[in-house]
Amino acid sequence: MSDREERKEPDFVVIDRRSSAGTAEASPTPPSPSPADPLPPQPAPRVDFAVLVHSFFVTALYHLGIAPDPETGQRASPNPTLARQNIDILELIEQKTRGNLSADEAGLLEGLLYEARMRFVEATKSSRE
């Protein structure tokens, strides 16, 4: 066995280069956040059926160029293919959950689907003319 193994010396050395002017009890104050620092993380919102279907609905509106991007506030150029995909997802959710939703949930989904379909028709009608 080597000398190092017998004495159990660490493989690294820590050198404290802090000033000895301060007292051991004083703790450094954390730096104040600058305007460029990101905001502290916020707790994630509660996810339920209403949040799920609203998410697909708003995404469909975003891809139709109706709803702005939540981060930039800018509207996207219309992409009917992606808008249709989100409407299709809402239709799939409606089919797969039929009979398993509360009256409020079923009404919400039905209303959002109707609104998304109407907005899709309006947005794509102008591009066909």
pTM higher than the cut 0.85: no
- Placement of tokens 């609104």 in the chain: 115
Specify the length of the chain in residues: 129
* SS3 assignment for the chain: CCHHHHHCCCCCCCCCCCCCCCCCCCCCCCCCCCCCCCCCCCCCCCCCHHHHHHHHHHHHHHHCCCCECCCCCCECCCCHHHHHHHHHHHHHHHHHHCCCCCHHHHHHHHHHHHHHHHHHHHHHHHHHC
- Rounded CA-CA distance 73/13 in Å is 52
Query: pLDDT tens digits, the chain, 129 residues: what are they?
Result: 555 555 566 566 667 777 665 555 555 555 555 556 677 888 887 899 999 999 999 999 999 999 988 788 888 899 999 999 999 999 999 999 999 999 999 999 999 999 999 999 999 886 665
